[in-house]
Amino acid sequence: MLSAYRAMEDTRSGGGALLVSHTLRGELRQNESMRRHCSWKAGGNMSRFYIPADLADLQYFLSQQNEHEPLYIIGLGSNLLVRDGGFTGTVVLTHSALSGIEVQSTPERELVSAEAGVAAPKVARFAARHDFEGAEFLAGIPGTVGGALAMNAGCYGAETWTHVFDVTTIDRSGQLHVRSPQEYEISYRHVVEKAASHGNPLTPLKEWFVSARFLFEKGDGIQSSEKIKELLKRRIASQPLQQPNAGSVFRNPQGDFAARLIEFCGLKGFTIGQAQVSPRHANFIVNLGDATASDIENLLKLIEHRVREETGIMLQREVQIIGEALQ
Ligand SMILES: Cc1cc2nc3c(=O)[nH]c(=O)nc-3n(C[C@H](O)[C@H](O)[C@H](O)COP(=O)(O)OP(=O)(O)OC[C@H]3O[C@@H](n4cnc5c(N)ncnc54)[C@H](O)[C@@H]3O)c2cc1C
């Protein structure tokens, strides 16, 4: 049994979670470059960067933070840009720390339980190996479970939250909470806590995901593995996977495709500095080698402007941008 689940089980069995650690066992780094932690391989530094040892360590770390310290949790940075001036505050990395995955069996059901730092493709492969079906779409999403929950990541008609049985979250004081999907407003690439948002869809999450339990149908693992291979082939054929990128940078507007609109505006291949609208997939921005975050953000702004001018449609960003521009 994974050690991190002990704390979760304490929460489930009643009341607040126990803080089960009293010394920091993770790794705290100063001025860590985001280039090492995001798929664009670009961006500024994070003033404090913490890699927890496990969930109990993360709880203790959060409980020790000043209540005004800006905190940000990241997974694999596959949907993230930190501006060149960096992020002043503490960034916590879940990947490599919250890495447990297992099948939990009860008399009523079998659930796939995964911690937030588990890579989404690993969930797809794990589910197939245990004869579940429905998780295949996660195989091509190069983020973590936490990122997939925060973004309601999806593709080919499937979405993360469709399969969520419950999630465990952590608040900034380090307490754990078990939440049901009904406690969130969930839509296309968008998740907010109902209790915190008061109807405002732009409200940032107040609690972070530390794990999720997924309910998938029982099926044929061999068929699921075949489906995974098929989906990955489709991606390799259509996406610029050899160059650093962050997937689709804009959400698809209702009834249309951001890529179609960008291509319609003649922007395929358009370049600012070392950032380019991929000639292969117009909703991808690729790093040609040494792109700065500002090259990428300026290209995003230019696309937004041109698409609005030429089609009247205001594209909504899917990629998350934090930090300060270089002065
Ligand atoms: C080649 C490529 C293909 C992609 N294809 C798809 C696709 O098909 N469908 C799709 O939806 N996305 C796709 N993406 C985008 C990206 O992989 C997903 O959005 C993914 O879910 C992000 O996960 P992450 O761990 O990398 O999150 P990060 O980029 O690290 O973070 C993204 C956001 O999630 C938040 N977050 C991360 N972890 C947590 C947590 N534990 N608790 C709370 N908030 C958290 C961060 O604070 C941030 O706001 C693609 C990206 C690439 C590079």
Considering just the CA atoms, what is the radius of gyration of the chain in Å? 20
Query: Is 253 contained in some domain?
Result: no
**Which of 190, 209, 238 finishes a domain?**
238
Residue-wise pLDDT tens digits, 239-258: 999 999 999 999 999 999 99
- In DSSP terms, 277 is beta-bridged to 285
Shared domain for 267 and 300, answered yes or no, is yes
In this structure, how many other beta carbons lie within 10 angstroms of the beta carbon of residue 182? 8
13 alpha carbon to ligand 1 midpoint, in Å? 31
Q: List phi, psi (to 5°) of 110.
A: -115, 130
Q: What is the pLDDT of residue 327?
A: 81
CATH for 262: 3.90.78.10
CA distance 15 to 120: 30
Mean pLDDT of the chain: 92
Look at residue 214 and give its three-state secondary structure.
strand
Both 153 and 297 in one domain: the answer is: no
Classify residue 244: in a domain, yes or no. Answer: no
Are 224 and 272 contained in the same domain? no
**Domain C-terminal end among 183, 210, 238:** 238
Indicate the pLDDT class of residue 203, thresholds 50, 70 and 90. confident
Contact 52, 61 (CB under 8 A): yes
Give the pLDDT confidence score for residue 109 in this predicted structure. 93
Q: Which of 21, 248, 278, 294 is catalytic?
A: 248
C-alpha 254, offset from chain centre: 22
Residue 95: inside a domain: yes
Asked, for residue 248, whether it belongs to a domain, the answer is no
What type of residue sits at position 27?
E
Q: Kindly provide the b/e burial profile for residues 236-270, where b requires at least 16 CB atoms within 10 angstroms of the residue's own CB.
A: eeebebebbbbbbbbbbbeeeebbebbbebebbeb
Contact 311, 261 (CB under 8 A): yes
Q: How many angstroms does the Cα of residue 319 sit away from the middle of ligand 1?
A: 8
* Claim to verify: residue 284 and residue 207 sit in the same structural domain: no
The CATH number of the domain holding residue 29 is 3.30.465.10
Evaluate whether residue 246 is within a structural domain: no
Same domain flag for 203 and 307? no
Residue 141 CB–ligand 1 contact under 6 Å: yes
State which of 74, 187, 236 you would mutate to test the pocket of ligand 1, scoring each by most atoms of that ligand within 8 A of its C-beta: 74
In the sheet where 208-214 sits, what is the strand order?
A: 101-105, 110-115, 208-214, 164-170, 176-179
Q: Are residues 306 and 169 in the same domain?
A: no
Give the pLDDT band (50/70/90) at residue 96: confident
Q: Is the per-residue pLDDT at 299 higher than 80?
A: yes
For residue 182, tell me if it sits in a domain. Answer: yes
16/112 same-domain check: yes
Annotation says 189 is catalytic: yes
pLDDT digits (tens, 9 = 90+) for 159-191: 999 999 999 999 999 999 999 999 999 999 999
Structural domain of 298: 258-322
Residues 200 and 143 in one domain: yes
CA distance 21 to 15: 18
d(CA 128, CA 104): 15
Instruction: Count structural domains, the chain.
Output: 2
57/161 same-domain check: yes
Residues 151 and 276 placed together within one structural domain of the fold = no
Shared domain for 133 and 272, answered yes or no, is no
* Residue 126 forms part of a structural domain: yes
Angle, helices 55-63/3-12, rounded to nearest 10 degrees: 70
